[in-house]
Amino acid sequence: MAARVLVVEDDEATRGALRALLDDAGYVCDEVGDGERAVAVMRDARFDLVLLDLGLPGMSGAEVHRQLRQDPRTRFLPIVFLTAHSDRQTKLAELEAGAEDFITKPYDADELLARVGAAVRRWSGMRNVNPLSGLPGNATITEELETRLARGEHFALLYVDIDRFKEFNDHYGFTRGDRVITMLAEILIHAAGSDQRFVGHIGGDDFVLLARAEEAEALAEEITGRFDASIRALYDPDDHARGWIEARDRRGRLRHTPIATVSIGIVNVPPGRFDGATAAARAAAEVKEVAKRRPGSAWVVDRRKS
């Protein structure tokens, strides 16, 4: 899908030339002539980049930038400034406030396209990476699965999930819960090692690992063993010693939640077994649920033929 760019420039001729340049380069381009309109448009539509004139009349480019950074929807959106001036302090102030880049007028068309393209690629990459683990997210996971399926590779899909993570997170808070997630991510990265393996973070406490079919169970054994050896250190000493969290539920009843474990569903993916990434992922999720019914950290291999 083509990236969508908003051009904010008060000079009509310059605005039209920028739009023509970006259209020819394959971008979907919208344009506005003032800062107030730019802020309003950004509330109603999603863009991949804003090309923003710093010297707008009325609401300045700097004020547009400030307002966009205050809105959670556009807080991290790449903003590339266009400016007829090269004042160093102004540039430094806007860069420190989160500007992606500066382009000085009169601009070189090839340089402008190169800078815009680089900013869009960085933005696209950031959106496809889980911010907590730093691992590829759902879009990249699906792309990797589809690529392997299209190449006719024979591989294994491991679906990894933490058992009783919600209870841990509720009891200790999200900060320590995040430490559990990052710990598992590091275990998976260490296990993956090879370039032929791929690790992705679906979200929450769910991960996937793609590897050669013949090494899947050895990897599952390594992951569960390392998780069990590491998880207790994230519990309070008393809870660690007891082997459970003691807390009351919504009805006031005292509950004992055992130490968290990890469950892994393993699906063998030979050429032609699945017609797409969704079907393979669904099968792995089903097998993972079987593993979750077993005591302790466990893995289950899908033995179904189809």
DSSP string, 138-205: HHHHHHHHHHHHHTT--EEEEEEEEETHHHHHHHH-HHHHHHHHHHHHHHHHHHH-STT-EEEEEETT
- Give pTM, 2 decimals: 0.70
Query: Range(s) for CATH 3.30.70.270 in the chain?
Result: 138-301
Delimit the CATH 3.40.50.2300 region(s) of the chain: 4-127
How far apart are alpha carbons 66 and 297 in whole angstroms?
Answer: 49
CATH code for the structural domain at 4-127: 3.40.50.2300
DSSP 8-state class, residue 129: B
Q: What are phi and psi of 247, to 5 degrees?
A: -155, 155
Per-residue model confidence as pLDDT tens digits over 53-63:
988 989 988 89
Condensed to tens digits (0 to 9), the pLDDT of residues 206-262 reads: 999 999 999 999 999 999 999 999 999 999 999 999 999 987 777 778 889 999 999
Dig out the tokens for 114 from the structure: 């190169």
Mean of per-residue pLDDT scores for the chain: 90
Scored b (16 or more CB within 10 A) or e, 92-118 reads eebeeeebbbbbeeebeeeebbebbee
Q: How many CB atoms lie within 10 A of CB 134?
A: 11
Amino acid, single-letter form, for residue 250: R
pLDDT tens-digit series, residues 79-98: 888 887 666 766 676 667 66
| Residue-by-residue pLDDT tens, the chain, 306 positions | 689 999 999 999 999 999 999 999 999 999 999 999 999 998 888 899 999 998 898 998 889 988 888 887 787 888 888 887 666 766 676 667 667 788 888 889 999 999 899 988 888 777 778 888 888 898 889 999 999 999 999 999 999 999 999 999 999 999 999 999 999 999 999 999 876 799 999 999 999 999 999 999 999 999 999 999 999 999 999 999 999 998 777 777 888 999 999 999 999 999 999 999 999 999 999 999 999 999 999 999 998 766
Q: Which CATH number fits domain 138-301: 3.20.20.70, 3.50.40.10, 3.30.70.270, 3.40.50.300?
A: 3.30.70.270
What pLDDT, on the 0 to 100 scale, is given for residue 75? 79
H/E element, 225: helix 216-231
